[in-house]
Chain A
Amino acid sequence: MTFKEKIDAGQFVWCGEIGPPQSCDGDVIRNKAKYFKGFVDAVNITDNQTAIVRLSSIASARILLDEGVEPIIQVTCRDRNRLAIQSDLLGAAALGITNVLCLTGDYQTFGDNPEARGVFDLDSIQLVAAVAQMNSGFLLSGTEMKKAPEFVIGAAANPFAEPFEMRLIRLYKKIKAGAHFLQTQPVFDLELFSRWMERAVAMGLHEKTAILAGVMPVRSARALLHMKEHVPGVKISDEYIDRMQQASDPKEEGVKMAVEIIEAVRKIPGVRGIHLMPVMWESITPTIIQETRLT
């Protein structure tokens, strides 16, 4: 079953995430693909994440397709204006890529080219609407296409940033614009996440879209502390930091924690899947998924 079929059928879906290398070495993607093949339904390919130049997400996605893994390309509004985004999306569709995740993008000053001009011609919600319009057969200019793409449209949601209510309005707007699935930022605060889901369910949003909860396995307490201090918009319960600090084998504890979070979010009503983000630790994916199946 493809990712689209599973979403349409309302089945529980699993996503992974691969960050392309800072070089033209396609083998990095091929190697990482092994960790996901047969374990997840689709794999996100980041688009110059944290504003650092990397191998193109569309090219990486094509490599993944050749390896038999279904890709979800991330598209950010930071680097491209509406012309480039549409043309890239048409190119992606022609290469057989069907899943798109629409993001605004990290600000350029966070990356390796802080002097760069940020584009931000569209925002993520407008990008969702633009892709939905392309699906209906029209380009943004209103020109009708002879062949329309059939993208599965995704977007991101961050339940953990302030203001809480505004996050629900954003979620609502993304669904209204035409998002088929939503991936959340990594859950490290179960209480806040379940409160957010509760509100989304009360608004009826979970029926219009598939909400996938983000889960990030971490290797060390340092990684958690770094995220807490330097990554804006994440919220990490102190309980997790304490546990990682006290663990004799932090890697094992990290896996245990990820499995626990997955088990907990699966039980929350409205959650339709898991988006696993093993940043720089792709090799752990099979272990986590196998352990989740055991419990």
Chain B
Amino acid sequence: MPKEIVSSCKPPLTARERKISHLLRFFEDLIKVPLFGCQKCGECILSSTGFVCCQRCPKRLRNGPCGGTGQDGSCEVYPERKCVWYRIYFRSSRLRRLSLLYKLNKIHNWNLEGTSAWLNVFKKRIDAPVGLVRNDKQKVKEQIADDL
């Protein structure tokens, strides 16, 4: 069987779930929009990206910056902005959560766009947020040794 590289659409959201999602979204937006500039992708990976929303990237990259980050960390599309992945790297570094950046994030499931990530975690459609990370440096070493 193939590796799981696509975030699966199964099971699809039922009409009832969509209603619940709509309600939850209200509270989720109250927190995530002002604090993180949430783009409502429904497949939240904030906890593994140093609590900076990676979906604010114009290319909506989920696995790191494109090759266009400027020497001052500016975005190539909107030079007045900082590249979100530049911010993610330095925030993760400060929070000692760099080991989380080594994970391959799955191909986005567009059916989840606009739905409540909280509901999707509860329904096990997406991975649960990562809590406290201990021994970050050690974890990076272990991960590299495991994979290669």
State A124–B6 Cα separation when bound (angstroms). Answer: 14
State A176–B104 Cα separation when bound (angstroms). Answer: 8
Q: Tell me, yes or no, whether B12 is within 8 Å of chain A by CB.
A: no
Contacts across chains A and B counted by CB atoms under 8 Å: 126
Query: What residues on A are CB-neighbors of B106 within 8 Å?
Result: 126
CB of B1 within 8 A of CB of A142, answer: yes
Within A127-180, the residues touching B (CB, 8 Å) are: 129-130, 133, 136, 138, 140-142, 156, 158, 161-163, 165-166, 169-170, 172-173, 175-177
State A162–B68 Cα separation when bound (angstroms). Answer: 9
Query: What residues on A are CB-neighbors of B72 within 8 Å?
Result: 162
**Interface stretch (choices B13-21, B35-43, B54-62):** B54-62
CB of A169 within 8 A of CB of B148, answer: no
**Interface stretch (choices A7-15, A200-208, A250-258):** A200-208
Query: What residues on A are CB-neighbors of B67 within 8 Å?
Result: 104, 156, 158, 161, 185, 232-233
Q: A120-B59, A163-B90, A166-B85 are in contact. Are A107 and B107 (CB under 8 A)?
A: no
CB of B5 within 8 A of CB of A133, answer: yes
State A123–B58 Cα separation when bound (angstroms). Answer: 12
Other than A78-B59, A136-B2, A170-B64, give 4 A-B pairs with Cβ distance below 8 A.
Answer: A107-B76, A129-B5, A172-B102, A233-B69
Can you spell out 16 A-B residue pairs with CB atoms less than 8 angstroms apart?
A: A82-B107, A107-B68, A123-B61, A125-B63, A129-B5, A136-B2, A156-B67, A162-B69, A170-B63, A172-B102, A176-B147, A185-B67, A203-B148, A204-B144, A208-B148, A232-B69
- Using a CB–CB cutoff of 8 Å, the interface residues on chain A facing chain B are 78, 82, 104-107, 109, 118, 120-126, 129-130, 133, 136, 138, 140-142, 156, 158, 161-163, 165-166, 169-170, 172-173, 175-177, 185, 203-205, 207-208, 232-233, 235
- Using a CB–CB cutoff of 8 Å, the interface residues on chain B facing chain A are 1-3, 5-6, 58-74, 76-77, 83, 85-86, 89-90, 93, 98, 101-102, 104-108, 110, 144, 147-148
